[in-house]
Amino acid sequence: MKSEQWSSKLGFILASAGSAIGLGAIWKFPNVVATSGGGAFFLVFALFTLGIGLPLLLAEFLIGRSTGKEAVSAYRHLAPGSRWHWIGYLGMATCSLLLSFYSVVGGWIVLYFLRGVSGTLLEANRDYGAFFGQTTADPWAAVLSQAAFMLLTIVVVAQGVKQGIERASRIMMPGLFLLFLVLIVRSLSLPGMEAGLVYFLKPDFSQLSSEAVLYALGQSFFCLSVGGSCMVTYSSYLSKQEPLGKPAVSVVGLNLMTSLMAGIAIFPALFALGMKPVEGPGLLFVTLPAVFEQLPYGSVFITVFLALFLFATLTSAFSLLEIVVAAFAHGDAARRRKMCWLIGSIIFALGVPSALSFGIGKDIVWMGKTVFDLADFAVSNVLLPLGVLLISVFVGYRFPMSILREEWSKMSPWWRKGLGVYLFLLRFVLPIIVLIVFLNGMNWLPF
């Protein structure tokens, strides 16, 4: 049976960049940058992304493309008769759990976007913090909007790799950059915006704590979607001839650029209106509406912002669903459609407790964390670092050298010289670094 393929290298790059660019780059990131030494933090993050994220992304690309198989079968094919294919199962579990609460935030974005379109979001003197609290605490609003987000994801992924994911990414990714440009122009044309730019970008190494450095490390793989093996599945649809170096570098570059654009779109506008940046969900759902309420055509611009966030979250959600669906679809289009609906519904059900954990379920707490926080903790601090560790050890020690050499020979001369360095990184440097990130995530480091 002819398996699915991206129509071109560009299609693959856009879909993979779509997976990478999501809440990590445009939501969590700008905030941490600003509070952790501005440009200094960005520099450290960029270094980690290049030195750690890029080799890992390439490792997932190597596994997927060389076998042309979805994650579980890919590991099985490369290391037959062993247990390495459990990395594939681990990836499926990680991505399902991630999507279960990613879709909760996605749902809030859908809801806010609809309010933006209908003109009911911005209102003079509205307390946006309380408004956001009411929205997320309302069980119907939370669950129905989460269902709407999952529905959008399922409908696209069910259409197939080329017809669904690639086509949507080809519209959404350029759309995302265009919308960002609109917002940046708006933000930079406000009087008094300079303070925000300085706050976001001015390097201040004295603010760069060891905690921030460790955070940057962890973020460098979350932001590139590595560790969950969904890039294995995505790269399996890439034609055998394409060299892998360029797509990997493009995804990394686009991701870094987006993080920068997010900060430049947000902070100058905040400062121009005399507001202070806040942590977490507040930035998007509380501060930005308050900022745009004060601007002419504010409801248009906030809707643009929400559309952009929706594109970014959806294209990440596609990759999270795809790895699971592909493992069951066996390349059959009808089966794929069925599996999309079935698995999508199961993941939705899995996410309902997370959706409710801001309202009726807020008292269900374990180790000081709600269901939503626990799921986030399990994915970000345990499952993804574990996946990253196993993948770097797998490619470093177990990947068949003949296949690695063959893949490497397709790359440009610059890359070809670096195979030894690459293996050294995967075998020795990355496992140690990931271990440190893991210990830090569990609060087991003595400092």
Interface residues with ligand PHE (CB under 6 A) are: 19-20, 22-25, 222-223, 225, 228, 230, 316, 319-320
Nearer to ligand PHE (CB atom), residue 313 or residue 440: 313
* Angle formed at CA 175 by CA 170 and CA 195, multiple of 5 degrees: 140
Question: Tokens 């003197």 identify what position?
Answer: 125
Rounded Cα gap, residues 95 and 103, in angstroms: 12
Pick 36 or 299: Cβ nearer ligand PHE: 36
Kindly report the CA angle at 208 between 206 and 210, in degrees rounded to 5? 120
Which residue of the chain is nearest ligand PHE when measured via CB? 22
User: CB of residue 198 vs ligand PHE: minimum separation in angstroms?
Assistant: 26
Residue 231 contacts residue 61 (beta carbons within 8 Å): yes
Q: Under a CB-based contact definition with an 8 Å cutoff, are residues 171 and 11 in contact?
A: no
Least spacing, CB of residue 252 vs ligand PHE, in Å: 12
Specify the residue, 20 or 87, whose C-beta has the smaller distance to ligand PHE: 20
Q: Which of 25/310 has CB closer to ligand PHE?
A: 25
| β-strand partners of 366 | 369
Q: How far is CA 162 from CA 166, 170, 234, in A?
A: 5, 10, 11
Q: How far is the CB of 201 from ligand PHE (least distance, A)?
A: 21
Q: Which two tokens stand for residue 122?
A: 């911005």
Nearest approach, Cβ of residue 61 and ligand PHE (Å): 14
Shortest Å, Cβ 207 to ligand PHE: 24
Closest by Cα among 376, 372, 374, 380 to 355 = 372
Q: Which is nearer to ligand PHE, 37 or 228 (CB)?
A: 228
Query: C-beta of 418: minimal distance to ligand PHE in Å?
Result: 25
Side chain identity at residue 14, one-letter code: L
Choose between 212 and 272: whose C-beta lies nearer to ligand PHE. Answer: 212
Q: How far is the CB of 379 from ligand PHE (least distance, A)?
A: 8
CB of 153 to ligand PHE, least distance (A): 12
23 versus 273: smaller Cβ distance to ligand PHE: 23
- Give which of 243, 249, 171, 229 is closest to 413, Cα–Cα: 243
Dist CA 259 CA 195 (whole Å) = 19
Residues 6+ apart with CB under 8 A from 401: none
Please, are residues 380 and 102 in contact by the beta-carbon 8 Å criterion? no
Is 70 in a helix, a strand, or coil? coil
What is the closest distance, in whole angstroms, from the C-beta atom of residue 218 to ligand PHE in the complex?
11
Which residue, among 383, 305, 443, 382, has the nearest Cα to 95 in the 3D structure?
383
Taking the complex as a whole, the smallest distance from the CB of residue 100 to ligand PHE amounts, in Å, to 13
Measured from the CB atom, is 187 or 258 closer to ligand PHE? 258
* Residue 26 vs 193, nearer CB to ligand PHE: 26
Beta strands in 290-400 (DSSP E): none
Measured CA distances, 411 to 9, 12, 242, 246 (Å):
14, 17, 9, 8
Burial 282-297 (b: 16+ CB within 10 A, else e): ebbbbbbbbbbbebee
3-class secondary structure, 366: strand
Q: What is the C-alpha to C-alpha distance for residues 172 and 180, in angstroms, rounded to an integer?
A: 12
Q: Which is nearer to ligand PHE, 116 or 228 (CB)?
A: 228
Nearer CB in complex with ligand PHE: 21/304: 21
CB of 316 to ligand PHE, least distance (A): 4
